[in-house]
Amino acid sequence: MPHAAVRPIAKPRFAVLGAPVQVGASQLGTVMGPAALRTAGLITNLQELGHHIEDRGDLSASDFPTGNGQDRNARHFDEISAWSRGLSDHSYRLLQDGYLPIFLGGDHSLSMGSVHGALRHCAEAKRELFVLWLDAHADFNTPHTSPSGNMHGMSTALLCGEEGFDGLFDDDAFSPLPPQNLYIFGLRSVDRDERALLRNRGVHVCDMRQVDEFGVSVLMRQIIDHVEARDGHLHVSLDVDFLDPSIAPGAGTPVPGGATYREAHLIMEMLHDSGLVGSLDVVELNPFLDERGKSAHVLVDLVGSLFGRQIVQRP
């Protein structure tokens, strides 16, 4: 069978920005994630593919002022708010300047900011934003539903406009992500109230049952075709726990039964061929829990596949 046509696109300019936030999770260690990804060769691998890449270093919590505390079931709300506002501004400016931003985490709360900035950019460009959330978890809890209060489990709910996040962004004009533009892929752990919200909001969910039954190529082709038909900007948010813990043990919230090495690479190769990806998060890498850099190297390999590395060069 012939391969699907590869969209001819110019190579983007990349800007890499570290966001070593860890207060969104209960397990400490993701603060070391950006350094581990760089050490594993993320920058040099992209340069070897012929890409123009600028490493903008890491942001610091001290760059962003925090508030006076929030009385709600959302731990470190004000610190996350500060990170999110700063990351949104960086994401927006990089996209406006024509870069493809790559955000290195850090826990998954950083996507509140990176995706918010992409929403601002897409609103001005009059393009739809779509988000592919590669994760074992839906992260669709709110302060009202979360059993833990950890905000890395609330990112997609915030971005889709759920209640309980007043004051996180000082932005009355914020237009949330339509839930039908969110694709959660690889889900295998979800809380009861979170499950009900996902169903009621019409979020697209591809759990591991569907992956087992239909395969990643069929499911990814449906997503790619939908985004392409709408001329959308696709933001990919890759959580290390999307992968099976046997190949990526450096995750604070591991769940057995995740994507295999080849399934994950096929997803990245298909996304590259589509030419749709306009921004990327790589999150939740916890080097303290890793095995001799195993998870960091796998993530770097996946980013390479997403941006053009192939086993055999195809025309």
Active site residues: 108, 135, 137, 139, 152, 239, 241, 284
Strand partners, 281: 103, 237
20/35 Cα distance (integer angstroms): 9
CA distances from 54 to 100, 125, 260, 280, 282 (A): 10, 24, 31, 15, 16
Sign of CA dihedral 306, 297, 133, 121: negative
The angle that helices 77-96 and 110-125 make with each other, rounded to 10 degrees, is 40
CA distances from 290 to 157, 270, 285, 293 (A): 29, 28, 8, 6
Determine contact, residues 109/155, Cβ cutoff 8 Å. Answer: yes
74/220 Cα distance (integer angstroms): 33
226/77 Cα distance (integer angstroms): 35
CA distances from 277 to 168, 198, 208, 280 (A): 27, 24, 23, 8
